């Protein structure tokens, strides 16, 4: 992973940079493929389930080191984006599918042995916003356990999703990790009691 200098300055302007990137992506995708009406009723829940299934597939295939399946969950275009914060206060970001594949894809192929450790990933307070029928934006709280579920790290995350040939794909990922305040593994039941989908209340 590449580290950057002046982490305090980068941390200060990262949210602004991401807002600009997401605004451009949403506008571009909405103007090109979001003219259809947003899903409602049973169709809305079906789309939400399909989106979450893609996000979960991406995570599971990463840990299982299944490169082909992991790759299939992303939009493989130059507007794809992925960024996350690091423990030392820096961040890593990849713009374009080639960048994502070079960073995360290469890690999977260079470390082919599946991660067999017992882990738990919980996503809570998920908020969906659809821009027509083919573009959706999500925010959520994520809790990633260490091997053996002795503890969790909490992150605030976003996903921008695009429906391609009838299948939801990940366009953009951002993850802001709280490395300072780990959560004990015994808190798992409390995490699991949190609302799966955000209703505007009970956010962390």
pLDDT more than 90, % of the chain = 73
Assess if residue 197 is contained within a domain: no
Average pLDDT over residues 153-174: 98
Provide the residue range defining the domain that includes 114. 7-32+40-192
Tokens of 33: 């493929």
Assess if residue 97 is contained within a domain: yes
pLDDT in tens, 14-26: 554 555 555 555 5
pLDDT beyond 60 at 128: yes
Q: How many domains does the chain have?
A: 1
CATH of the domain at 83: 3.10.450.50
Assess if residue 2 is contained within a domain: no
More confident residue, 29 or 107: 107
């Amino acid at each position: 992973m590449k580290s950057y200098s002046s982490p305090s300055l980068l941390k200060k302007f990262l949210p602004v940079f991401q807002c600009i990137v997401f605004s451009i992506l949403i506008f571009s995708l909405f103007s090109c493929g979001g003219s259809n009406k947003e899903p409602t009723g049973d169709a809305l829940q079906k789309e939400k389930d399909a989106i979450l299934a893609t996000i979960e597939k991406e995570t599971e295939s990463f840990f299982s080191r299944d490169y082909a399946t992991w790759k299939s969950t992303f939009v493989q275009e130059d507007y794809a984006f992925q960024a996350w914060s690091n423990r030392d206060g820096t961040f890593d970001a990849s713009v374009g599918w080639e960048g994502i594949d070079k960073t995360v894809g290469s890690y999977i192929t260079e470390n082919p042995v599946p991660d067999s450790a017992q882990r738990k990933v919980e996503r809570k307070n998920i908020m969906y916003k659809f821009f027509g029928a083919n573009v959706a934006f999500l925010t959520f709280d994520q809790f990633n356990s260490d091997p053996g579920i002795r503890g969790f790290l909490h992150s605030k995350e976003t996903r921008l999703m695009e429906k391609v040939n009838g299948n939801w794909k990940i366009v953009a990922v951002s993850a802001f990790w709280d490395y300072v305040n780990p959560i004990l593994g015994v808190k798992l039941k409390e995490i699991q009691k949190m609302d799966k989908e955000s209703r505007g209340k009970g956010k962390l």
